[in-house]
Amino acid sequence: MNRMKKFMAMLLAVVLVAQSGFMTYATEDNGSADQIQTIDATEEAEPVEEAGPAVDEVEQSEEAAGEVTEAEQPSSEEMTVTEEPTDENDSGAVAPSAEEESAVETEPAEGTNVVTDTESKSETTQEPVAEPEETPVQETKPSTETSEKTEAELTEEAVEEPIVAVPESTMTEPSNIDLMSAGAENSANEEVPEYISSRTLSVDASLEAAESGVYTDIQSAINFINEQTDKEDWTIIVESGEYERFVVLSGLNGLTVKTAKDANVTIKTLNGFVPEGVTFGGGTPDTGGVQLWNANNVVLEGLTFKIGDGDDGTHHMRAAVSNHSESTEQADNFTVQNCTFVGNDNMSGQANGNVGISISSFDSFTIEGCTFTNLMEAIRGQSDNADVDTVNILDNDFIDCSFAVHEYAGNADENDQSGTYNFIGNNVIGNSTLYNKAYFEDLYVENEGHESDGYTINIEENTFENAIVGLVNLEDNAGTSDNVFTDNTINKNTFVVTGSKVSGQIEMHANYTAPENEKGYWQWTGKEDPVGGGNPEDAAEQIQEAIDKANEEGSNILRFGVDDRDNFLLTFTWFKDMIYWVTDETPDPEPTPDPDPTPGVPEWERSKSKEAANLDESYESKVTLSLPSAEEKLVSDVVFVLDKSTSADVEDQAIEMLNDLNTQLKNTGAAVKVGVVIFNKEANNVLELTELTDSTMSGIETAIRTTISSGTNTHAGLLAGIDMLEKDSDVDDSRKYLVFVSDGITYIYNENPTAIGLENGDYTNVFPGPDNWVTKYGNSDAPDDWSAWLGEIEGLIQTDNGKYDDTYREPYPPDGSDSYIHYDDRGNHAMSIDKALYLTYQTYQEAASKYHCYAMGAQSSAAASYPWATSFMEYLAGGEEVSFDTIKNDIYYLLDTGSTVIDEIGSGDDYNFDFVNEAENLVLTVGGTVYTTAVSTGNLGEGETARYTFTSPGVEATNGAEAPYVLHYYADGAAIKGTTYGECFVWDINVPVSNFAPVQLTYSVKLTNPKTAAGTYGQYDADGSEQYAGLYTNNSATLYPVDSNGNEGTPEEFNKPTVSYTVPETPVPEEPTAGTATLNITKKVQTNKGEAKKVSTSFYASIFTDDKYQNRYGNVIELKLTDASEVTVTVNVETPADGSSRTYYVMETDKDGNVVSSGKDFGYQIDVKGSQVTVSKTAVTADIVITNRQVKSGSGSHGGSGSSGSGDGSTGSAASTPQQVGSAKTGDTGNLTLYIVLAAVAVAALGACGVIVYKKRKLTK
């Protein structure tokens, strides 16, 4: 505290000395006290090291004030310097002249504190500035601490602590002293320099030397800020000129370096220059450009960075601007906005230094509104440890760069990674030889084990052309090709690659996707060798094969991918320019444009149809051409929209037209309905649609002649007419006619009368009316170009947006209304006539796009006074004079004389139709009346095969032709109207065709080469409305119309019907199949007396195909009896497939199929009835009975117990005899055996008789 008191005393002494001594000095014309720097020494004095020519003066001051020990002198760091500005714009000190220095008194002027900054002077040379104007000296107030002391205390301290006063000439620009501290501690009367208080420095290369707060280079300004205690939130404003690069030193958070208003600032980078006072190395390697060290929230604005060719900077992160540092702390959340980066065209490699902005680890940054041209990489990010928070790359232009963005971001650790990367509103434009690439890769997802999805990328509202968008490991976070194509403008030669990669640089897949439905192809560029990335030796062949396959298939997608790490193929993630998509810009052939239709006269397609019957059994089809369409109802609507001022003459013409139509309609089955709208200030439907007949004609006439007054609202009249037509949904639009008759003098609009008031030229009246035209335009003339005028009025209407619209009433304006156009402002707004004409035009065009519309001028008495109105109606009519005769003909006639139809007969790759060239196959009707068909007797024309005429009594051709309708047939085709046709005919129409009496031509075509294979061919479409392909009865049918005014119209195509036919399956003759016959084999066992004998044993039988019993048919048949005397077994045998017969032989056999013999060895006498069986498809059953009778025991038999199955297979013995068999055809009921037995008995009887005779003779002897 004692030291403080001494110091305050010293301060008071300095003040007193300064007031007395320097005031005296000022009065001697040796300078003003205002020219002296002051010091407020509030801390304990430290030694002051003197330097320069002012040493003597300092010594003199010491003698006057008393000696100050070295330990008590304040140091330069403890001093606060204030420079008295000479005016509002000058904050720098002014150096006095040599004479002024020599005249300085040893005593300073009273109330003035003086200080010297010898340390600063030794480092920085004070730049001379303009001499200030003389200003009054202000007494410096003591500091807050000092002001609380009594005057006695201050005086005592002043005596104890002498003050050293230093003349102004010794002062230099503040550098090492703490100016910010001085600003805080100065008394209230002291002024801090503006550049200190605002923290704003200037840089101006045009200065020869630095001034106070103004530097000649950017680095010096940065170095000055770096010397301050508070280094944050400074601004450096740079004037026009070229500057060397600079380094934003660590700790300078919030620094802004920006271009002065309207200035052009170029920063030279990568040119070998090293900023003064900056030492590179260690954690801060030199990257050759502007570097942001550990300083956050830095802003670079409005600067142009020019990249040199120098190979300065030893680091691979060389760039015009970078935040690279190898320390753990790096610049974050920096902003680069409205800057320009100009490259050196070196595209040789990613580390060549031709880089705009190189970004190392970060959380956030913003690059907005910048332009990048001719750079290898506009924005490069090798941010392997970046925890992405928010990145904004917005509204930049990337022109002819190899990469717009080349970004690898994402932290390799396991921290959550969920930031947002916005790439929005940019233009990415490359060229045809080097596509501009926007490449984004999430390294976080690459690292296995991470559960987070990584950062989200938003690519929106950009424009890409000759560009590639690369998205690696981002497909789950909006990084998809669909999002890119949907949310951005995609121009030519642009595609998206989405891929995935895992740690170890293994590319698991890469999908190249071009815009859907865009014509183009994939191209191997040859820019990169795929083997160089560790790919297999045949990588190029694999890639080219995939490209060729995609191009052959016309695919817009090219895929590469693997399922395992041992079989991968690196493509896009390593080779960004290896494959390009090339847009096919060959324009599609443009159709021949139709002649521009006359405004107000729309091109109508005539009603027509073509129908074909399906093919009959002779493969013929009858085809009918109809004019108008066969399906169309023959009803028309005619609505008159008439101005209240329509003259009687016009009304008479309209009525005459309707009378003529009424006469023409009779006996046609057709009808015309008439409606009438008359408009004044609003529309009046005086007649709803009414059918035109004799009985209704008078009512229609009355409606047309209705008289109405007050106002003219053409817009409302048209709205009502359209509404009337729209409501009649039963009539096709092509048969609706709107006749608009008006003198064009309109100034009211809308269905509810609306108008705009215009103040007149003498400011005495406001009204809407026809005279507003002269008020606004100065005359009654029409615009030179109505189209241009309507465009201008549209703009005025949109600008006014209904501001001046008001309900129309008389008198006008409504009471109290102030919504009108002032006379002096009339040219800037659409007045009532303007808007009424505009809306009338728009509404008429809307109607004309759907209906037949006619605009006719009504020659009213007022029309001559308003030529603009007459001109408007002429414009609406397309410059044509419309008459009621024209309208009548359009209503009544579909076509006029001279119309033709050219019909080319159908043919295709696998089908062909021929025209049936016979008169009896041609039928023409008009309104249902059949015309006579005949072969023309005239000479045939060149190439003409045949000609047919169609006539009817009383109907003559109106153009001198031989018949009303003529058909010319060309079997070998012909060149007609500039087109070459195959087989065809030309149908000449030599009379008008009425809308109310359809003309129909029917002819036949025959399919000459129907298929023979079974199936259905073609699809039947009677009128061609389904537009099926194939089996067209006609390749084309074209109408060349002539309208009722004799004007040739645009050719019109008929629909093309298709037919079908079915070839049935031809029955395939069935291969003869063998039949089946049934043999019923019965076994009977009898005693020797012929009585049934029950046994339990098995007998066997076999069927043979020969009478020698050598060829057995089928298996041996078991005939098993169980305590029975009889059993029947059924066996199926085959009958011949061809219907012939076959004979089988059934015999008793042993179980092996060997025939057994009757006798004592077998034990039975065998008798087979029906053994020989003949079967066929008609003889399908047979009965066979095998009877076994026991042989008598005395005869040496086996007692009848033997079985055919137990024999040894012998066919008999001395005691055995053959089986007794009987043969009969299957189904024979005759007992052949009986006859044989009777014969045997007879023979035995004869034998017995012989024996008796013999014995008698012998006895007789």
The enclosing domain of 1142 has a CATH number of 2.60.40.1140
Report the greatest alpha carbon distance in the chain.
226
Classify 633 as helix, strand or coil.
Answer: coil
With CA atoms as reference, report the closest residue to 673 among 629, 728, 719: 728
Whether 1121 and 1006 map to the same domain: the answer is no
pLDDT, position 37: 35
Whether 1222 and 1167 map to the same domain: the answer is yes
With CA atoms as reference, report the closest residue to 652 among 252, 1137, 586, 660: 660
620 in a structural domain: no
Whether 191 and 329 map to the same domain: the answer is no
Q: What is each CA distance from 1065 to 910, 1013, 1014, 1015, 1062, in whole angstroms? A: 21, 8, 5, 8, 9
Whether 292 and 419 map to the same domain: the answer is yes
- How distant is the alpha carbon of residue 413 from its chain centre? 39
What is the rounded distance in angstroms from the CA atom of residue 935 to the CA atom of residue 952?
Answer: 15
How many C-beta neighbours within 10 Å does residue 338 have?
16
Looking at residue 16, its amino acid is L
856 in a structural domain: yes
Q: What's the burial of 949, exposed, middle or buried (CB within 10 Å: 0-12/13-18/19+)?
A: buried
How many C-beta neighbours within 10 Å does residue 807 have?
12
Whether 776 and 904 map to the same domain: the answer is no
φ, ψ for residue 89, nearest 5 deg: -100, 0
With CA atoms as reference, report the closest residue to 195 among 158, 225, 240: 225
Residues 6+ apart with CB under 8 A from 1069: none
Residues 6+ apart with CB under 8 A from 1160: 1191, 1195, 1196, 1197, 1198, 1213, 1215, 1216
What is the rounded distance in angstroms from the CA atom of residue 713 to the CA atom of residue 321?
Answer: 69
617 in a structural domain: no
Domain span holding position 469: 229-513
Whether 295 and 437 map to the same domain: the answer is yes
With CA atoms as reference, report the closest residue to 635 among 672, 674, 665: 672
What is the rounded distance in angstroms from the CA atom of residue 678 to the CA atom of residue 705?
Answer: 10
> Cα Rg for the chain, rounded, in angstroms?
60
What is the rounded distance in angstroms from the CA atom of residue 1014 to the CA atom of residue 322?
Answer: 79
Residues 6+ apart with CB under 8 A from 1145: 1103, 1104, 1105, 1106, 1107, 1109, 1171, 1172, 1173
Tokens of 268: 């030279």
pLDDT, position 421: 87
221 in a structural domain: no
Looking at residue 171, its amino acid is M
Q: Are 250 and 293 in contact (CB under 8 A)?
A: yes
Whether 785 and 699 map to the same domain: the answer is yes
What is the rounded distance in angstroms from the CA atom of residue 1036 to the CA atom of residue 1022?
Answer: 15
Among residues 489, 513, 537, which one ends one of the domains? 513
The enclosing domain of 436 has a CATH number of 2.160.20
With CA atoms as reference, report the closest residue to 904 among 1046, 1038, 765: 1038
What is the rounded distance in angstroms from the CA atom of residue 609 to the CA atom of residue 1036?
Answer: 13
Angle between helices 648-665 and 884-892 (to 10 degrees): 20
For the chain, how are helix, strand and coil distributed in percent, rounded to 5?
Answer: 20, 30, 50
Whether 877 and 1009 map to the same domain: the answer is no
What is the rounded distance in angstroms from the CA atom of residue 300 to the CA atom of residue 318?
Answer: 18
What is the rounded distance in angstroms from the CA atom of residue 54 to the CA atom of residue 67?
Answer: 18
What is the rounded distance in angstroms from the CA atom of residue 1187 to the CA atom of residue 438?
Answer: 108
Nearest-5° Cα angle at 155, 151 to 156: 120
pLDDT, position 1245: 60
In DSSP terms, 687 is beta-bridged to 676
Q: What is the secondary structure of 563-619 as a DSSP string?
A: SSTTS----TTT-TTSEEEEE--PPPPPPPPPPPPPTT-PPPPPP-EEEEPPP-TTS
Whether 767 and 804 map to the same domain: the answer is yes
Among residues 463, 481, 513, which one ends one of the domains? 513
DSSP type of residue 621: E
pLDDT, position 1224: 40
Among residues 544, 560, 583, which one ends one of the domains? 583
In DSSP terms, 1169 is beta-bridged to 1185, 1222
Classify 529 as helix, strand or coil.
Answer: coil
219 in a structural domain: no
Whether 78 and 188 map to the same domain: the answer is yes
With CA atoms as reference, report the closest residue to 1222 among 1162, 1256, 1255, 1173: 1173
What is the rounded distance in angstroms from the CA atom of residue 699 to the CA atom of residue 706?
Answer: 11
Whether 1004 and 1148 map to the same domain: the answer is no
- How distant is the alpha carbon of residue 61 from its chain centre? 87
DSSP type of residue 1155: B
What is the rounded distance in angstroms from the CA atom of residue 635 to the CA atom of residue 691?
Answer: 9
How many C-beta neighbours within 10 Å does residue 982 have?
16
The enclosing domain of 718 has a CATH number of 3.40.50
Classify 420 as helix, strand or coil.
Answer: strand
Q: What is the secondary structure of 739-792 as a DSSP string?
A: EEEE------BTTTTEE-EEE-TTSS-EE-STTHHHHHHSSSPPPS-HHHHHHH
pLDDT, position 156: 40
Q: What is each CA distance from 1193 to 37, 617, 761, 1159, 1198, in whole angstroms? A: 175, 86, 163, 11, 7
Split the chain (1261 residues) into runs of 10 and give each run's mean pLDDT. 54 51 41 36 37 37 37 37 38 38 37 36 38 39 39 39 35 40 45 85 92 93 93 95 94 96 94 88 83 93 90 69 75 94 79 83 89 93 73 95 86 62 95 91 57 74 94 69 88 90 64 90 82 74 88 88 59 80 76 44 69 95 89 83 84 90 82 92 91 92 85 92 94 90 93 92 88 93 94 94 86 68 93 95 93 86 85 90 85 89 94 96 94 92 95 92 96 93 96 90 96 93 90 94 86 94 85 88 93 94 93 94 94 91 94 90 89 91 93 50 42 47 43 54 60 50 46
892 in a structural domain: no
Q: Are 524 and 532 in contact (CB under 8 A)?
A: no
Whether 121 and 34 map to the same domain: the answer is yes
- As for how many domains the chain has, the answer is 6
203 in a structural domain: no
pLDDT, position 1237: 52
Q: What's the burial of 628, exposed, middle or buried (CB within 10 Å: 0-12/13-18/19+)?
A: buried
What is the rounded distance in angstroms from the CA atom of residue 750 to the CA atom of residue 802?
Answer: 12
Tokens of 656: 């005459």
Tokens of 729: 């949904």
Q: What is each CA distance from 1156 to 385, 1129, 1195, 1213, 1218, in whole angstroms? A: 109, 19, 19, 11, 8
Sheet strand arrangement including 1172-1175: 1112-1124, 1095-1104, 1142-1149, 1172-1175
1261 in a structural domain: no
